[in-house]
Amino acid sequence: MGIASIAMYVSPEPLAEATAALWSFLRDRLAAAGLAGVPDTLDWDLAYDAAWLRPDLLLSQTCGYPYVRHLRGRVRLVATPAYSQPGCSGALMRSFIIAGRDAGIHTLEDLRGTVAAINSPDSNSGANLFRAAIAPLAGGSPFFADVLETGGHGASIDAVAQGVADCAAIDCITFANIQRFDPERVEAVRIVSETPSGPGLPFITAADASDRQVALIREALGAAIGEASLAPVRETLGLVDFVALSDADYEPLLTFARHAEEEAFGDF
């Protein structure tokens, strides 16, 4: 039996429920197509990144920066979701750079010498795109006074709201989801700027998956976009399409990182 773990956008709770409903549709579609080893339910116990290199992986969602740095050639790309949230354009997405609502921070330059929160140094939306936005201003010197690693976008929002950090870059999809389903959490922050955009978080399967398996999963994902009964699920997730991207489409994420190195950016 394979495993399926779709854990990138499952908080607040309505997103977890919608994700489970999406998987139920995909499961039935894949089983009806004759694909063996389709699990009944999503694995909710694995850490979001623990499924990526499992040999029994059927389907998971990863971040674009870890994919292009560590996972290429070790998993297979299936498709990248396209979302409707502000900051998204097709399969591209960006992050919103936030600060405290009353902090007097209005521009990126105002962030110099402040404390930044990042969810993880390996995160595209929380670190790589953030660095791409800040690096041209750094002038070869450390830009932030300190960088706090929080472990998650929600925790980064909380750190800024509580004054533990001064700024953070929040995945635009996560920010919109929290605004919608947990609005009190973002009341004390505001958007200062936006990062450059890049390809979003791809769905992947195991490296040894056959072309037929990849094709069947893509067909099931496409069917989920057209299925009338899933309209409430898609609306909750902000899901509008799945786009088959290539490794080359993710290369700009490494280009952002290289440019930051050329600018001698000194943080995260």
pLDDT tens track for 193-220:
999 999 999 999 999 999 999 999 999 9
Taken in order 37, 77, 54, 74, is the CA torsion positive or negative? positive
> Do 13 and 24 fall within a single domain?
yes
Q: Where are the beta strands (DSSP E) in the chain?
A: 3-5, 57-61, 75-83, 92-93, 95-100, 115-118, 146-149, 167-171, 189-194, 198-199, 203-206, 239-243
CA neighbours closer than 13 Å in the CB half-sphere of residue 47: 5
pLDDT of amino acid 261:
86
% of the chain surpassing 90 pLDDT: 94
Residues in the chain: 268
> Do 64 and 129 fall within a single domain?
no
Q: How many CB atoms lie within 10 A of CB 159?
A: 21
Residues of the domain holding 235: 3-85+199-254
Strand partners for 241: 82
Span 33-56, average pLDDT: 95
Look up residue 229 and give its DSSP letter: G
For residue 141, pLDDT beyond 90: no
Q: What is the CATH number of the domain that holds 99?
A: 3.40.190.10
> Do 231 and 192 fall within a single domain?
no
As given in the structure block, the two tokens for residue 156 are: 């980064």
For residue 265, being part of any structural domain is answered with no
- Say whether 217 sits in a helix, a strand or coil: helix
Rounded to the nearest 5°, which phi and psi values hold at 175? -60, -45
pLDDT of amino acid 263:
81
Higher pLDDT, 261 or 244: 244
CA distances from 139 to 112, 118, 266 (A): 11, 21, 10
For residue 140, pLDDT beyond 90: no
CA-to-CA distance for 84 and 199, rounded, in angstroms? 14
CA-to-CA distance for 202 and 223, rounded, in angstroms? 17
Domain boundary (196, 224, 239) is at 196
pLDDT of amino acid 201:
98
For residue 261, being part of any structural domain is answered with no
> Do 139 and 186 fall within a single domain?
yes
Summarize pLDDT for 4-32 with one digit per residue, the tens. 999 999 999 999 999 999 999 999 999 99
Which pLDDT band, with edges at 50, 70 and 90, does 267 fall under? confident
CA distances from 223 to 2, 89, 220, 230 (A): 21, 21, 5, 10
Summarize pLDDT for 71-122 with one digit per residue, the tens. 999 999 999 999 999 999 999 999 999 999 999 999 999 999 999 999 999 9
Cβ(214)–Cβ(187) below 8 Å: no
Summarize pLDDT for 26-38 with one digit per residue, the tens. 999 999 999 999 9
For residue 260, being part of any structural domain is answered with no
For residue 266, being part of any structural domain is answered with no
pLDDT of amino acid 63:
97
Summarize pLDDT for 151-183 with one digit per residue, the tens. 999 999 999 999 999 999 999 999 999 999 999
Which pLDDT band, with edges at 50, 70 and 90, does 264 fall under? confident
pLDDT of amino acid 265:
74
For residue 263, being part of any structural domain is answered with no
pLDDT of amino acid 113:
96
